[in-house]
Chains A and B, each alone.
Chain A
Amino acid sequence: MMLNHHIKVAIRGIRKQGVYALLNIFGLSVGLVLGLFVILLVRHELSYDSSFTHNSRIYRVATEGILGNNNINSATSPMPLAVMLREMDDVEEVVRFIPGANNVVSYEDKHFNEDGFMFGDSTFFNLFDFKFLEGVDSVVFNAPRQLVVTESSAYKYFGRIDVVGESLEREGINYKIVGVCEDVPGATHFQFGFVASLSTIDEILLNKADSAYLEDWKNDWLYLNCYTYLKLKDGVESDTFMDKINQQKDKLFVPQVQKVVEDEQAGNSIELSFFAQNIKSIHFDSHLDGELRVNSKPIYIKLFVFVAIFVLLTTCINFMNLTTAKLRVKYQEVGYRQLVGASRTQLIAQFLVEALVYGLGAMFIGMVLLELMLPFLNQFFGLNLEFDFFRGWVDFFGILVILLFVGLLAGSFPAFFFSGRKPGKLISGSYKIGKSGFVVRGLLVASQFGVAMFLVVVATAMWWQINYVRTNDHGFDSENVIVVERGHAVRNNLEAFKSELKKIDGVEYVSACNSLPGDDHFQGAFRISNGKEERVHMLPINYIDEEYFKVLGLQLKAGRFLSDELGDSLGINLNIAAIKKLDLRKPLDEKLEVYGNRNWSLSTVGVIKDYHFESYFTEIRPLALMLLPEKMRFEYILIKKGSGTGLDMQAVRSVWGNYSEGAPFVYSMLTDRINGLYDDDVRIAKIMSVFALLSLFIALLGVIALVAFVIEYKSEGIAVKNILGATRQLIMTQVFSMYGIYVVLGVVLASFPAYWAIQAWGSSYAYFDFVGGFVFVFWALVLMLLSFIATFIQAFRGVSLRPVNS
């Protein structure tokens, strides 16, 4: 009965207050939009791989261990592991897959480079139960050359999805399509457009090598060439199971290791063991070598949850401040209500319901805003979040819980604040606001400014670091370098292709290489002997041609760059980090043996200065550069154009067309690709920036409420000062000085957690440029200036009050 009354009064109150109420609701809705957005974001991050049935029992088996002097920590595993796993009673399903190289897939006259082409075990779709379309329930591969395509891939090549029975061609092999599955959900730790039967690989390898090689490839425990997933039976503990596996594998693994050690006469230890990662945990915090996608970092989730809670809190604080700012009107109303019979409980209920009505209005506006803004937010942040209020009860109750939380929190202060006053003083209008009330409000505003300061400083620090990784000297020059994908399409005529390209105006150098800065590099094992002992080291290798050095502008420390003319097919360039790691005293006199082939001895012909061939997340590691063997497949063509000159890409495309046998011409700028390594952090920085701006807006609203309160609090004094002839500026300065200390307090106190958060975020970088202390000072001053401007706008009216009205 009273509920109707409370709701009615709240709604009429909103109408009566007009702009003031709208400001209040809008402030609340902005907070709620942020809160909801963060919930969507966190839910998205935590939802990875949850689309698979029984995902709590699905694990990826990863590998760790020591090979010579190198630590192995890889998402991949050896092929024979799956064979052993399948024999275990505790296992329900085992599936391996191997991502294929970036190759052209063709259908009639359609040719596209595809790097989402995988080879999967026959039961791939039993474990990864993607939904199948076009009348097929699921697919179990039973022959080579069978292929499942995703819906998007089907549309891309055929313009339709009823393509079962059609064929696609890749590297001279025709694949028959046996099923079309839905697209891989964005929240999956791997992506593909095609899955072919794993048995096709036998055929591919047999085209290139003999059957002995194929058998080795399939049975080699030291070759981490595939990704292995398993589904454990219900009730099986993964840790216990993996202990069992690690004991069992030794029977099969140790003999091979012993053989290698004997053959190679290596004194180094080789140890490998396997560990299980639950599939749902992979995206969240797995950062192994060979990850299939860039995974998240737990710090982001913590940061977002922290931000969401604080933004919601500051929003509620604002509501309290705005609600209690217009005190006089409220005071009298509460007094009258008390005298006509309202009990304290009824008054508290009234305020809580009022806050909930505001909250409901704000939630409605917030949800509409979110619905409207989500496509833009998704595009801006590079996300794919979905918001569907009616998707499930969990969402509904989640929103309800937030609403109740916000409503009750925001309403609680006014409720208990007003209802406890004595009616006599309230109705007489003689109620004086105590100093403690002012201090509480001041502290609330301090906390709002604290949150705003925290966010703007952290966001600035993120952009600072992003700018640093983009503009710092990487040790090579990525500017004006064009990367053409799948360069091996021209490998038969590489030299002719290069000289044709150089005839085009603006082309300075052309090079071929296997890996780009930022890519995963091949790992090579080398044996080094210093006369007393032999050591084995794993080094990342990049196969390049001799112009690579010119294209990237690499710098030499000693010796010379690799050269065809000087016959460096058995030469090697090492970076300084490699020289240090291998402990080469006189590097140019040293020889490195390729592990496993005692006849292949490499001379170090030059030492190059360290450059960032990986992202700034990792320390510059040792690197070996070797010339591309003649028949070796390589990935990229790099074209260096002169700075300040244009380049006719149409001409480049035409030359490519003449040499690539119709392969697609796909290119990008090296700088863009390198910048792309930090896309995730750019996204986070964007999100933090938006949060920072909005929290700044909320904090300024808070100032407006506080100034309204100060003027209310001091209205008589202001009026008297007016009569006595005080200037407006003087009065405003006094108003500002009353709460300015709280702004300073908030800003100073927030600097400490901001410093901590920046450090925590920056710790994921091996090269981190901490934002200078002046940024803290700068933002502190900006916040204070903004709060003064807000005071100016709000107080202008207040201090202009004609004395008679006060």
Chain B
Amino acid sequence: MIHARNLTKVLRDGSIESTILQNVNLDIEQGEYVVILGPSGSGKSTLINIIGLIEMPTSGELFFMGHEVSRLKDRQRSNLRRGGIGFVFQNFGLIDELNVYENIELPLKYLKYSKKERQDKVAKVLSKLQVSHLKHYFPKQLSALQKQLVGIGRAIITNPDLIVADEPTGNLTSACGNKIMEVLSSLNEEGFTIVMATHSALEADRGQRVIQLFDGHVVTENIKNRL
């Protein structure tokens, strides 16, 4: 599903260059739950942004669903993202002016689904995440856990090919973090492909495969199912 070859990301600030990622190779197949593990500054967020088609690599190749996407224009990448990739953010990324129902419904609106379809899909997701009772609440009325559940709901509403989660438990207590991890695991069991970035080894254990980054290099790749 995702194949990266020699991905390199270099940032330039005036005359200073810093290499964020260097010759990263990876393959992610459909249905996998891959965790990118690394300390702060290791390049995991940059890698996950490249995988999520948010950023472009400086060099190297990236294939997403069979398309070479590393040189695509903004608009083309945006079109691939729409409905194809769901994002879960560390700070939830909810729109303050929209309530739970509307936040989850938003991607469907952008994709111009009919009202009936939207109602059906949102109801299913609300029920699946057990947040139906919160549907009229606004983000500021929710706990951090509830916010992240809604964030996940919004990420899966379009039934995307890939879920990209960047430190999804970063703003949560460990108990709440566990709950989120359970939700992600169950989504994976349903067939969702998930790529998650984290700095917690404990959370990394939840994934089927762990890619460990350090200073922009892949240092180990641990495939649990093969162990």
Interface contact B109-A9, CB-CB below 8 Å: no
B78 touches A338 (CB 8 A): yes
Say yes or no: B74 contacts A2, CB within 8 Å.
no
Q: A343-B78, A346-B110 are in contact. Are A337 and B95 (CB under 8 A)?
A: yes
Shortest CB-to-CB span from A675 to chain B, Å, is 57
Q: Are B110 and A427 in contact (CB under 8 A)?
A: no
Interface flags, A288-306, vs B, CB<8A=1, else 0? 0000000000000000000
Q: Is B106 an interface residue (CB 8 A)?
A: yes
Contacts of B158 in A (CB 8 A): 341
Taking a contact as CB atoms under 8 Å apart, the answer to whether A427 and B89 are in contact is yes
Contact with A along B73-88 (1 / 0, CB 8 A): 0110010011100010
- B41 within 8 A of partner (CB): no
A503 within 8 A of B: no
CB <8 Å contact, B109 and A343: no
**Cβ of A418 to closest chain B Cβ, rounded Å:** 14
How long is the Cα–Cα vector from A5 to B97 in the complex, in angstroms? Answer: 10
For residue A12, CB closer than 8 A to chain B, the reply is yes
| Alpha-carbon separation in the docked complex, A333 to B106 (Å) | 13
Given A341-B81, A424-B49, answer yes or no on A336-B89 (Cβ-Cβ < 8 Å). yes
Q: Is B216 an interface residue (CB 8 A)?
A: no
Smallest Cβ distance from B188 to chain A, in angstroms? Answer: 21
Known: A336-B89, A424-B49. Is A341-B95 also a contact (CB below 8 A)? Answer: no
What is the chain A residue whose CB lies nearest that of B140?
Answer: A16
Asked whether, in the complex, the Cβ of B83 is within 8 Å of the Cβ of A341, the reply is: yes
Q: Which residues of A contact B75 (CB under 8 A)?
A: 344
Query: Which chain B residues numbered 61 to 110 have a C-beta less than 8 Å away from chain A?
Result: 74-75, 78, 81-83, 87, 89, 93-98, 102, 106-107, 109-110
Do A341 and B111 have beta carbons less than 8 Å apart? yes
Please, how many angstroms separate the alpha-carbon atoms of A744 and B188 in the complex? 62
Inter-chain contact B54/A424, CB cutoff 8 Å: yes
- Please indicate the chain B residues that have their CB under 8 angstroms from the CB of A9 in the complex: 95, 97-98
List residues of A (313-343) whose CB comes within 8 Å of B's CBs: 332-333, 335-343
Please tell me if the beta carbons of A13 and B82 are within 8 angstroms of each other in the complex: no
Chain A residues with CB under 8 Å of B55's CB are 424
User: Is the CB of B112 closer than 8 A to any CB of chain A?
Assistant: yes
> B154 within 8 Å of A by Cβ?
yes
- A341 and B118 CA atoms in complex are apart in Å by 15
A581 at the binding interface (Cβ < 8 Å): no
Give the distance in Å from the alpha carbon of A1 to the alpha carbon of B82 in the complex.
18
Residues from chain B with Cβ under 8 Å of A5 in the complex = 102, 109
Q: Which residues of B contact A428 (CB under 8 A)?
A: 45
Q: Is A423 an interface residue (CB 8 A)?
A: yes
Q: A1-B109, A424-B54 are in contact. Are A339 and B81 (CB under 8 A)?
A: yes
Is A560 an interface residue when CB atoms closer than 8 A count as contact? no
Are the CB atoms of A343 and B82 closer together than 8 Å?
A: yes
Q: Does A43 contact B (CB under 8 A)?
A: no
B106-140 interface bits toward A, Cβ cutoff 8 Å, 1 = contact, 0 = none: 11011110010000000000000000000000000
Cβ of A422 under 8 Å from chain B: yes
User: Which one of B54, B74, B96 lies within 8 Å of A339 (CB-CB)?
Assistant: B54
Shortest Cβ distance from A595 into chain B, in angstroms? 85
Complexed CA–CA distance, A333 and B94 (Å): 8
Verify A13–B110 contact, CB threshold 8 A.
no
A16/B97 in contact, CB under 8 A: yes
Expressed in whole angstroms, the Cα–Cα distance for A415 and B97 within the complex equals 18
Question: With A12-B97, A424-B49, A427-B93 as given contacts, are A340 and B154 in contact (CB-CB < 8 Å)?
Answer: yes
Q: Are B110 and A1 in contact (CB under 8 A)?
A: no
Q: Is the CB of B107 within 8 A of A340?
A: yes
Give Cα A423 to B53, complex, Å. 10
Closest chain A residue to B164, Cβ basis: A339
Closest-CB distance, B70 to chain A (whole angstroms)? 14
CA distance A343 to B106 in the complex (A): 12
Which A residues touch B107, using CB under 8 A? 340-341
Would you list which residues of chain A between 634 and 654 have a CB under 8 Å from chain B?
Answer: none
Say yes or no: A343 contacts B110, CB within 8 Å. Answer: yes
Shortest Cβ gap from A353 to chain B (Å):
13
Chain A residues near B106 (CB, 8 Å)?
Answer: 337, 340-341
A339 to B52, CA, bound (A): 9
The distance from the CB of A357 to the nearest CB of chain B, in whole angstroms, is 12
In the bound complex, do residue B112 and residue A340 qualify as a contact, i.e. CB atoms below 8 Å apart? no
Tell me the complex Cα distance, A614–B3, Å: 93
For the complex, what is the distance from the CA of A344 to the CA of B81, rounded to whole Å? 13
CB-defined contacts of A344 to chain B, threshold 8 Å: 75, 78
Q: Which residue of B lies closest to A329 (CB)?
A: B96
Residue among A12, A13, A16, A423 having the largest count of chain B Cβ atoms under 10 Å: A423
Which residues of the other chain, A, contact B111 by a CB distance below 8 angstroms? 341
B159 to chain A, nearest CB (A): 13
What's the minimum C-beta distance from B121 to chain A, rounded to whole angstroms? 14
Q: How far is the CB of B64 from chain A (nearest CB, A)?
A: 15
Q: How far is the CB of B194 from chain A (nearest CB, A)?
A: 16
Partner of A13, one of B49, B52, B78, B97: B97
Cβ of A338: which chain B residues have Cβ within 8 Å of it? Answer: 78
Rounded to whole angstroms, the CA-CA distance of A333 and B107 in the bound complex is 14
Contact A422 B97 (CB under 8 A): no
Closest B residue to A346 by beta carbon equals: B110
CB neighbors of B among A608-642 (8 A):
none
Contact indicator A341/B54 (Cβ below 8 Å)? no
A116 to B74, CA, bound (A): 76
User: In the bound complex, what is the Cα–Cα distance between A561 and B163 (angstroms)?
Assistant: 106
**One of B78, B97, B112 near A1 (C-beta < 8 A):** B112
Chain A residue at minimal CB-CB distance from B85: A339
CA distance A747 to B87 in the complex (A): 49
Closest chain A residue to B154, Cβ basis: A340
The chain B residue with its CB closest to the CB of A10 is B97
Provided the pairs A336-B89, A423-B54 are in contact, do residues A342 and B95 lie with their beta carbons within 8 angstroms?
A: no
Query: Taking CB as reference atom, which chain B residue is nearest A339?
Result: B87
A339→B103 CA distance, assembly (Å):
13
Q: Give complex CA distance A13, B98 in Å.
A: 10
User: Looking across the interface, which residue of chain A has its beta carbon closest to that of B105?
Assistant: A5
A343 to B81, CA, bound (A): 11
A427 CB contacts on chain B under 8 angstroms = 89, 93
Q: A340's closest neighbor in chain B, by CB?
A: B107
Looking at the assembled complex, report how far the CB atom of A326 sits from the nearest CB atom of chain B, in whole angstroms: 12
Cα A423 to Cα B83 in complex, Å, equals 16
Closest chain-B Cβ to A60's Cβ sits at a distance in Å of: 61
Q: For B154, what are the chain A residues with a Cβ–Cβ distance below 8 Å? A: 340
Kindly state the separation between the CA atoms of A725 and B102 in the bound complex, as whole angstroms. 46
Q: Which of A395-426 contact B (CB under 8 A)?
A: 422-424
A336 to B54, CA, bound (A): 11
Give the distance in Å from the alpha carbon of A423 to the alpha carbon of B87 in the complex. 12
Q: Mark A159-193, 1 if CB is under 8 A from B, else 0.
A: 00000000000000000000000000000000000
Contacting pair A336 B95 (CB below 8 A):
yes
> A340 to chain B: which residues have CB within 8 Å?
87, 106-107, 110, 154
**CB of B28, distance to nearest CB on chain A (Å):** 19
When chains A and B are docked, how far (Å) is the Cα of A333 from the Cα of B96?
9
Most buried by A among B98, B110, B111: B110
Residues of A within 8 A of B45 (CB): 428
How long is the Cα–Cα vector from A112 to B158 in the complex, in angstroms? 85
Q: Are A341 and B89 in contact (CB under 8 A)?
A: no
Pick from B52, B81, B82, B93: contact of A336, CB under 8 Å:
B93
Chain B residue nearest to A1 (CB atoms) is: B109
**Alpha-carbon gap, A341 to B97, bound state (A):** 17
With both chains docked as a complex, state the minimum distance between the C-beta of B63 and any C-beta of chain A, in angstroms. 20
Are A2 and B109 in contact, CB atoms less than 8 angstroms apart?
Answer: yes
A342 touches B110 (CB 8 A): yes
Q: Which 9 A-B pairs have the closest CB atoms?
A: A12-B97, A341-B110, A336-B93, A424-B54, A341-B82, A341-B107, A340-B107, A9-B97, A424-B55
Instruction: Jot down 19 A-B pairs with beta carbons below 8 A, ordered by A.
Output: A5-B102, A8-B102, A9-B98, A12-B98, A13-B97, A16-B96, A333-B95, A336-B94, A337-B95, A337-B106, A338-B78, A341-B82, A341-B106, A341-B110, A341-B111, A343-B110, A346-B110, A422-B74, A424-B55
Given contacts A1-B112, A336-B94, A341-B81, 9 further A-B contacts (CB under 8 A): A12-B97, A16-B96, A341-B82, A341-B107, A343-B78, A343-B110, A424-B49, A424-B54, A428-B45
